[in-house]
């Protein structure tokens, strides 16, 4: 079977949804499938909406046997006015054209043609989900939709519910299979009318081989760090709790606790603005803002950490939690997305409410003062990852479900194309 995987970005960029899609595309070969990823040329999310940020120059390349096609983002003049009109007038407009969904006319044109795909696997952003739905509807292919819905805490949802204001409910209703990252996300889809038998709760995974030779000592030496390290590795913004984490650390430093906070990953505009306007003033010598890190650097930073923190309401899963556990590290997460289901509070890590810097400070202090307890939490997390959360196990669950539910439609689709 030839499978089209759609996503807003792809490797070499390393992000949660991007990695999820790539691993599923690469795993298809084990099941006898050919995979193609179609994506944009954006590296930074800022390139999605304006001519600032970075993009990937390579338009057509193969990585681990997966062909990746990149289509250029177009930046029309008068974009605000155009988007406002399209949100009201265009099919799917209310979610398809809100920021940061980009204009990618070359992809729109390409997706309208038949390229011989038997299945479309669409992921994450509304413009991608709609493109997959349009292709599947036009050519009668099997459609698997994976919204990666970032909607906050279960009882305190984020404004990102705009995500479903356009045709996304129609897209999910028309999908052969809808993949959820957590039980919370499954319940969201059930409330939208998706049949339970068409929902697969799957989540993400990790590749243990990437962490085998990681050296925390090398990372500490490169950054000039001595003493305990609290690591946060994400795209830093207010919705990912970066400011709350910084406030919590400031409270601990003011009480005399000594450790270094490392913020690894890109700094997005709202958090950067908070730093520039003085809403947060990183204490000199106590905070290292590392920026984007390569895959090998991720492993070494995790090896160097004593605690890994992700007090975010914007991560529907949180792969860095799995990576931290694989390295035997205790984690601090948020009562949102899959973290609330993976982390057993007090057993393999701690959970806090979003924005609760007081509780974040208390839990960090406990872990820093009791390394033995932190080590035990990390060991419990590692056992769970090795048993359930390697990419091989996760992707095999996906393709087993595809094989169980969808094969009878494939001969019919081929006949329709003739």
Distance (Å, whole) CA 189 – CA 177: 12
Domain boundaries, the chain: 2-205+391-417, 208-388
Please report, rounded to a whole number, the percentage of residues in the chain having pLDDT higher than 70.
Answer: 93
Nearest alpha-carbon partner for 303 in 332, 330, 327, 331: 327
Distance (Å, whole) CA 68 – CA 64: 10
Is 2-205+391-417 CATH 3.40.50.2000? yes
The strand ranges marked E within 154-237 are 156-157, 177-180, 199-201, 229-233
Confidence class for position 282, pLDDT limits 50, 70, 90: confident
**Cross-strand pairs, 308:** 231, 331
pLDDT for 160 beyond 70: no
Residue-wise over 26-42: b if at least 16 C-beta within 10 A, else e?
bbbeeeebbbbbbbbbb
Q: Quote the mean pLDDT of the chain.
A: 91
As separate numbers, helices (DSSP H) first and strands (DSSP E) second, the chain gives 17, 16
191 or 329: which leads in pLDDT: 329
What is the dihedral sign for C-alpha 81, 82, 85, 86? negative
Task: Compute how many other C-beta atoms are within 10 angstroms of the C-beta atom of residue 403.
Answer: 11
Task: Determine how β-strand 142-146 pairs with β-strand 156-157.
Answer: unpaired
Whether the domain at 2-205+391-417 and the domain at 208-388 fall into the same CATH topology: yes
113 or 52: which leads in pLDDT: 113
Give the pLDDT score at 414: 45
Backbone angles phi, psi at 69, to 5 degrees: -105, 125
The whole-number average pLDDT for the span 133-142 is 95
The whole-number average pLDDT for the span 106-126 is 96
Is 208-388 CATH 3.40.50.2000? yes
pLDDT for 152 beyond 90: no
- The pLDDT tens digits of the residues spanning 187-244 come to 989 988 999 999 999 999 999 999 988 999 999 999 999 999 999 999 999 999 999 9
Distance (Å, whole) CA 230 – CA 364: 8
Residue 12: cis peptide before it, omega within 30 degrees of 0: yes
pLDDT for 411 beyond 70: no
The whole-number average pLDDT for the span 130-158 is 86
Please tell me whether residue 190 adopts helix, strand or coil conformation.
helix
Give the pLDDT score at 158: 59
Give the pLDDT score at 310: 97
pLDDT for 407 beyond 60: no
Give the pLDDT score at 162: 60
Nearest alpha-carbon partner for 250 in 265, 240, 261: 261
Distance (Å, whole) CA 20 – CA 144: 14
Distance (Å, whole) CA 220 – CA 275: 25
Give the pLDDT score at 413: 47
Q: What is the residue whose two structure tokens read 């930046």?
A: 75
Give the pLDDT score at 418: 42
Nearest alpha-carbon partner for 363 in 311, 304, 415: 311
pLDDT for 156 beyond 90: no
CB 268 within 8 A of CB 45: yes
* 155 burial via Cβ count (<10 Å: 0-12, 13-18, 19+): exposed
pTM above 0.85, yes or no: yes
């Amino acid at each position: 079977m030839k499978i089209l995987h759609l996503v807003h970005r792809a490797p070499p960029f390393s992000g949660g949804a991007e990695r999820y899609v790539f691993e599923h595309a690469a795993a298809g070969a084990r099941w006898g499938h050919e995979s193609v990823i179609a994506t944009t040329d954006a590296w930074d999310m800022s390139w999605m909406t304006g001519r600032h940020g970075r993009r990937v120059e390579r338009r057509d390349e193969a990585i681990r046997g997966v062909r990746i096609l990149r289509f250029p983002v177009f930046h029309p003049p008068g974009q605000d006015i155009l988007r406002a009109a399209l949100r009201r007038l265009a099919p799917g407009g209310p979610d398809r054209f809100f920021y940061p969904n980009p204009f990618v006319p070359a992809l729109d044109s390409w997706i309208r043609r038949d390229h011989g795909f038997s299945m479309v696997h669409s992921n994450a952003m509304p413009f991608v989900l709609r493109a997959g739905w349009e292709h599947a509807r036009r050519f009668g292919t099997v459609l698997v939709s994976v919204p990666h819905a970032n909607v906050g805490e279960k009882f305190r949802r984020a404004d990102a519910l705009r995500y479903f204001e356009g045709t996304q409910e129609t897209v999910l209703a028309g999908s052969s299979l809808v993949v959820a990252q957590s039980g919370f996300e499954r319940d969201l889809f059930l409330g939208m009318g998706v049949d339970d038998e068409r929902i697969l709760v799957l989540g993400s995974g990790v590749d243990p081989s990437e962490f085998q030779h990681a050296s925390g000592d090398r990372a500490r030496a490169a950054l000039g760090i001595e003493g305990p390290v609290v690591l946060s590795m994400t795209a830093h913004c207010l919705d990912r709790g970066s400011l709350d984490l910084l406030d919590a650390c400031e409270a601990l430093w003011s009480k005399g606790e000594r450790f270094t906070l490392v913020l690894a990953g890109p700094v997005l505009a709202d958090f950067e603005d908070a730093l520039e306007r003085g809403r947060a003033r990183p204490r000199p010598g106590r905070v290292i803002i590392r920026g984007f890190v390569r895959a090998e650097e991720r492993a070494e930073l995790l090896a160097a950490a004593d605690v890994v923190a992700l007090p975010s309401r914007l991560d529907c899963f949180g792969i860095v939690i799995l990576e931290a556990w694989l390295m035997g590290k205790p984690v601090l997460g948020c009562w949102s997305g899959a973290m609330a289901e993976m982390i057993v509070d007090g057993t393999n890590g701690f959970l806090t409410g979003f924005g609760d810097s007081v509780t974040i400070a208390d839990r960090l202090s406990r872990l820093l003062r009791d390394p033995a307890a932190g080590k035990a939490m990390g060991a419990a997390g590692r056992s769970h990852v090795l048993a359930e959360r390697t990419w091989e196990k996760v992707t095999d669950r996906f393709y087993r479900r595809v094989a169980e539910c969808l094969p009878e439609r494939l001969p019919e689709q081929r006949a329709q194309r003739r």
